[in-house]
Structure 1
Amino acid sequence: MDKFTINNEDVVLLLIDIQDKLVKPMKYADQVIENTNILISAAEEFNMPILYTEQYPKGLGNTVIELEERLKNAKRFEKTHFTAYIEEVKEILKEIGRKKIIITGMETHICVFQTARDLINDGYDVFVVKDSVCSRTKDNYLNGLSMMESMGAVVTNTETVIFDLLKKAGTPEFKVLSKLIK
């Protein structure tokens, strides 16, 4: 059951390509941004490392301002590959030494899928937060989730991640994070 358990000392939060020009055609971009903000709050409460990528920012813009202003202490990576598991990310993950990765971002069936596939192939446990990822179409979104689940990713949701990190009520972290869940 360890594969399905999230402990704050074992996990890294990875945001994939939540960028200005990518969010425009996404029907559920607002939900992805809102839930990613909640996950950033959890990462901050538990001192979890946060990494984020930007796919060709010269053409697609930077990370949306609603997230970027919260990522001052996160590590940013520019990329042109669709996978976010590029050499620089591999190196920092090796340095961090944590083997569980929580993923948010876009698009589910392209960059999120390829990243999950590559991380799983390299021995990581991957948690894809399904209400924090999106694609332009519902079919592509569902196909991406299905492929990742078939490969061994845990497809989860924001509330499950938060409450698994919390483990119990009454803690200082619970008081902060429970207010964010509506």
Structure 2
Amino acid sequence: MHKNVYTPDNAAMLLIDHQVGTMSWTHSHDINLVKANAIKLAKIGAAAGIPILLTTSMEDQVQGPLISELEEILPEAFANRIRRPGIVNAMHHQEFNDAVKALGRKKLIVAGITTEICVLFPVLQMLDEGYEVQVAADTSASRTKYGDDLALRRMEKAGAVIMTTDQLISEFAIDWRTPLGSKLAIINNYN
């Protein structure tokens, strides 16, 4: 197995600000597809049993609550979500930064709203702090396609791997005949 492969045993997932209000501000991608991918990513994480950290920013303001499906799929992660008071870079919020360290994983899968702000700046810091990062581009969105593209390019140039939710499913599955592969095939509607 290639040493850079992400597996349920070495990776953790960070879902940043998939909030109802925040998602309504994005126009770079079909937000229904982004939401469907966020739900799929949460299901992948739950099925694979990997550590998942959720965070929100100012959820009592216009940003609103996390999409309700995340609470249904990840009740424990939802209950333990890190509620940031408005700090743009989640990694600057000590509670979130400590929670990421406490996951004990150096390989991080990151997705969030918006790509150009709420994903970009924490990912750049995660890379600086020595984490390996894969960004799920199809589970993230920005106000504009231009802003989204530039953020993805900047993260990739800094060392992040840009991927899709389906690529992650295949990377985790390895073999569709295994118990995990079978679960992931169902999540991805490959059955």
1:2 is paired with a residue whose SS is: coil
Aligned partner of 1:77 among 67, 78, 82: 82
DSSP 3-state at the match of 2:177: coil
The AA in structure 2 aligned to 1:122 is E
CA RMSD of aligned residues (A): 1.4
- Output the TM-score relative to the length of structure 2: 0.89
Q: 1:89 to 1:167 in 2, by over 3 A?
A: same
Any unmatched runs of 5+ in structure 2? none
Distance in 1 (alpha carbons) for counterparts of 2:64 and 2:124 = 25
More strand, by proportion: 1
The correspondence of residues 3-152 of structure 1 with structure 2, limited to 5 A, is: 3=4, 5-27=5-27, 28-59=30-61, 60-74=63-77, 75-79=80-84, 80-85=86-91, 86-152=93-159
Q: How far off is 1:6 after superposition?
A: 0.7
Q: Deviations over 1:110-161 (max 9, x none)?
A: 1100010011110000100111110011000101100000100000111111
2:3 equivalent in structure 1: 2
**Distance of 1:131 and 1:159 partners within structure 2:** 9
TM superposition outliers: structure 1 runs of 4+ over 4 Å: none
CA distance in 2, matches of 1:148, 1:169: 31
Find the aligned partners of 1:135 and 1:162 in 2 and give their Cα distance.
23
Deviation at 1:10, TM superposition (A): 1.0
1:66 Cα deviation (Å)?
2.5
SS state at 1:93 partner: helix
Paired amino acid for 2:18: I
* % identical aligned pairs: 29
Q: Is the 8 A contact 1:100 1:125 kept in 2?
A: yes
Greater alpha carbon shift after TM alignment, 154-163 vs 79-88: 79-88
CA contact (8 A) 1:101 1:124 kept: yes
How much has 1:107 moved relative to structure 2?
0.6
